[in-house]
Amino acid sequence: MENNVLKIGIIGLGVVGTGVVKALSKFDNIKILKAAVRNKNKKREIDVQYITDDPFEIANDPEIDVVVEVAGGVDPCLDVLKTAIKNKKHIVTANKELLAKFGDEIFSLANENNVTVLYEAAVAGGIPIIGPIKTTLRGNEFNKVMGILNGTTNYILTKMEEDGVSYLECLKDAQKLGYAEADPTNDVEGFDTMFKIAILSNIVFHKKIDYKKIYREGITKITQDDIKCAKELGYKIKLIGLAQKLENDELDIRVHPVLVEENSMLAKISNAINTVQLEGAPVGSVMFTGPGAGEGPTASSVVGDILAIAAEISYTDTILPSTRVKTDVQAKQADILNTKNSYFLAINAQNARGTIGTIGSVCAENNINLQSILQKGIKEDNTALIVVITETSYEKDIQNAVKKLNEQNIKVTNLIRVI
């Protein structure tokens, strides 16, 4: 860092990268030397002096102090960042997929080369959550972290409830507004939330997390019937990421839709807003809420990380030691079949005597107590929608009960966990 000016190279000039460049223009102590993009000839609304289509130019440039990566994906970002780290450059990234899959490798290499990797923007966009966990909340022993971590899915579920239209109609609306990509799989199938809860679990529980062992389920099966019945029973449906300690020192980490009580704080998080809730001692329960994606919120977190490095780089050889990740212990991750939950079952069955009795019997045979049961009219084909809420049961028992019901032509059309 020469003349108290931090020199950076930025990889990616999409929505977030553009926001970062705009925000950094206000700071005289930050200079963008180079930007790497996929298409050099694309017209842009910002002016960057030097643009390349080779990100390794940035990783290998001896003048650059910090590499800012907001391109996303694994290839070529993994190799580029590893090269930059070996060249003693600090890293700021918003890449949740990269960190969830290869974070251990990246952080270990960074520690070996005495550089820091900051990634506030990788989880929950503009919400400051990683910094507080590693600093002001560091004295806590947490037993649970949970959140609405994807704005696209939360927007779709909100519109389904408010407008009374189908999932597909709400998805199209989200795509028109720019909340969802042309291929929305990463969001609606829960991959994005899975990467984020993996990162949060790592820093909250100080253990390596295998993202491949995280149970993942998206929102594509949620219907208007599910939304309406949940509302009638006093619930709303949200997609959450959850990680919690179990008694046997296992971590229960998963992503799936849940029913939350309509008067709860989670139920009040609507549209594209994100929230993260932590439970531990001595703090108790704390909640962070704000915009989870987009140019401004994500750029806010990226720029904050850059400025944190700029504030220390001239004064110490070890930048921000409290933010470094040092986890040598692999987490024991629970199989969802061994977890306990309450359940919402949406059932389609013939309108015949004994159907509800059969449902009760099958549940009883599998150690499942029923909390409530609701029948919603008779359709033209003489079938009825029956909704069941269970008491807390083992996942393996509920799955076996679902199998038995389906075998008796009592079709379980959806299973949603209740928290």
Point out the residues that are catalytic.
196
267 Cβ neighbours under 8 A, 6+ residues apart: 235, 236, 238, 260, 261
Q: Give the helix/strand (H/E) hosting 168.
A: helix 167-176
Give the whole-angstrom CA distance, residue 71 versus residue 224. 36
Instruction: Quote the Cα angle for 84-90-95, to 5°.
Output: 80
Cβ atoms of residues 126 and 301 within 8 Å: yes
221 Cβ neighbours under 8 A, 6+ residues apart: 414
> Each residue of 284-305: b (16+ CB within 10 Å) or e?
eeeebbbbbbbbebbbbbbbbb
Number of H helices, E strands in the chain: 13, 17
**How is residue 182 written in tokens?**
């042309």
258 bridge partner residues: 238, 417
